[in-house]
Amino acid sequence: MRSVTLRLAVTLALSTCSHALSSQQDDPSVVPFPFENLEDVHVAKRDSSKTVEAPVVIYGDSYWMNASVGTPPQSLSFLLDLTRSYVDVTYTYDEDYTCSDDQICSEFGIFKPADSSTFQNLTYRERYEAGVGYSHTDTITLGGHATDRVPLEITKVSYYDYSTLSLWSPNTSFPYILVDRGLTTSPSFSLIGDNGATMRASILFGGINTSKFNGPLQAFSFADHTITNHPFVTIEADSLELSTSNNNSTYTIPPSTPMLLRTEQLITYLPNSTVHPLYTALNITTDGVISSTRIYGVLPCARQDTESHTISIVIRNMTFSASWDELFVPWTRDGLCKFGIQAQESDYKDYPELGVPFLRRMYVAVDYNNQFVGIATLKDGGDDKKEEDVVEIGTETALPSAVAVGEWPSSITVYTPAATTDTKTTTTQAFTTKTSSGGGVMPTAVLEKRSWLVSGVLGMAVLQAV
């Protein structure tokens, strides 16, 4: 059972910087956000290319995009997730259900299938005849652009109280759905960060906006980094750098070490050989505070305000820097915090992982056709006000405006839009390749999710409830 007190503390903390999703959203062309005075909330469908751009909020060290589900549209805020293979919607069949103030769904919305005329629940026979592994479909709308028959996982609100939008490589994820519906040419997208400044980011499906980054993109192949035959988006970093008032230090990351990109967690996980010298320099201790089998780097939360350091990830000739005070996760009631850089062994991670404090400083372009990801530093706020230059990613072997680290593939297998298959009672989507029925990576524990939803100053409210 979840702690009601914990939920209340988290929601109160969130409420200090946001408003709940509007339940009176009448215009389906407008995407609402849990922020006051957020500008430019219309989704852009660019006429010059097959691309769709939507605004994103970096909220609680996670990427959130707003969309609508069902007919008529029901507004939800989705956590963007590079490790999920389906759109996962929090739901209730109780038409009178209202999220209470101590539930996070009061901020991000909840789906009611009974109120949607396009919601479909496939029987076993229908799934078998269509050759699909999912059980539910419905329409998802970005602005005025509807994508029908989107494969859904649905999770009862008593277990999860927010929804996720899948960005992983199985062809049930959202980038593939946009190709199937003719809105984009390739299963691809760009995540455009906020440089750690505004909480306002964006996602551009099917294209690259060259006016937003200092080019060219440095492109890494992630073709070999797979689970259940589907690759995860990974890059390779060279080193970690620490800048203090006294000196600068560099800690090497072992070469050829793939690092997963994560859009939904604060913590960055690195090899032991990189993390432990950093802990020594910063006087961070390791302790099994919660579990004797999980040893974390911990320190007093008060150090967040009494010290000033900069920590950077170096990739090729690019440096992505986060400030010291962004890397604290409230952990115990007696004022102890987890540090935002942990040894990957502490949580049994198969790969190192790059968290949002560094990711939000990047321009990231992902192409699942050629299985490359390109990254670059973002232009300063004043530089990105000039006329935008959006290039369609298309179906070529190379990413536009990018230089490969290594070589581009000589040929690729281009994803072909799926054909539709009719069943006796339901129209479903038949996909061209076998897909995983699960999410690949298990979601982080609920308590941990609460930690990075309310990290930093907001997270202090949680300490009274742990």
Q: What is the pLDDT of residues 387-442, one digit of tens each?
A: 789 999 999 999 999 999 999 999 999 999 876 544 333 333 322 222 222 333 33
Q: Beta partners for 269?
A: 342, 353
Mark out the alpha helices in 332-371 (DSSP H runs).
Answer: 356-359
Return d(Cα 290, Cα 292) in angstroms, integer. Answer: 7
Does position 45 have pLDDT exceeding 50, yes or no? yes
* Tens digits of residue pLDDT in 62-80: 999 999 999 999 999 999 9
User: Which of the listed ranges 37-51, 69-83, 92-106, 381-395 does the model predict with the highest average pLDDT?
Assistant: 69-83
Tell me phi and psi for residue 250, to 5 degrees: -120, 135
Taken in order 88, 137, 232, 179, the sign of the CA dihedral is negative
Q: What CA–CA distances, in Å, run from 432 to 115, 120, 171, 369, 429? A: 31, 21, 8, 14, 10
Q: Which of 271, 234, 447, 266 is nearest to 345 (CA)?
A: 271
Q: Cα–chain-centroid distance for residue 21?
A: 19
Does position 310 have pLDDT exceeding 90, yes or no? yes
Return d(Cα 163, Cα 153) in angstroms, integer. Answer: 10
Q: Beta partners for 75?
A: 68
pTM of the model: 0.82
Find the mean pLDDT for residues 164-176: 94
Q: Which structural domains are found in the chain, ordered by start?
A: 4-209+421-464 (2.40.70.10), 225-359 (2.40.70.10)
Where does the pLDDT of residue 445 fall: very low under 50, low under 70, confident under 90, or very high at 90 and above? very low
Give 80's DSSP letter.
E
Return d(Cα 218, Cα 16) in angstroms, integer. Answer: 38
Instruction: Name the packing angle between helices 4-15 and 446-453 (round to 10°).
Output: 20
Return d(Cα 310, Cα 401) in angstroms, integer. Answer: 30
Find the mean pLDDT for residues 186-200: 96
Give 244's DSSP letter.
-
Cα atoms in the 13 Å half-sphere on the side-chain side of 124: 0
**382, exposed or middle or buried, with CB in 10 Å at 0-12, 13-18, 19+?**
exposed
Cβ atoms of 344 and 261 within 8 Å: the answer is no
Q: Beta partners for 427?
A: 422
Which pLDDT does position 239 carry in this prediction? 98
Mark out the alpha helices in 94-247 (DSSP H runs).
Answer: 105-108, 124-130, 174-180
Cβ atoms of 189 and 203 within 8 Å: the answer is yes
Q: What CA–CA distances, in Å, run from 441 to 152, 155, 424? A: 17, 16, 34
* Tens digits of residue pLDDT in 349-387: 988 999 999 999 999 999 999 999 999 999 987 655 567
Mark out the alpha helices in 88-162 (DSSP H runs).
Answer: 105-108, 124-130
CB atoms within 10 A of CB 124: 8
- Kindly calculate the radius of gyration of the chain based on its CA atoms and give it in whole angstroms: 22
Strand order in the sheet with 318-323: 248-252, 239-243, 310-315, 318-323
* End-to-end CA, the chain: 14
Residue 445 in tokens: 């524990």
Q: Cα–chain-centroid distance for residue 50?
A: 23
Q: Is the omega angle on the peptide bond into residue 417 within 30 degrees of 0, that is, cis?
A: no
Tell me phi and psi for residue 388, to 5 degrees: -80, 150
Which one has a higher pLDDT value, 315 or 24?
315
Give 419's DSSP letter.
P
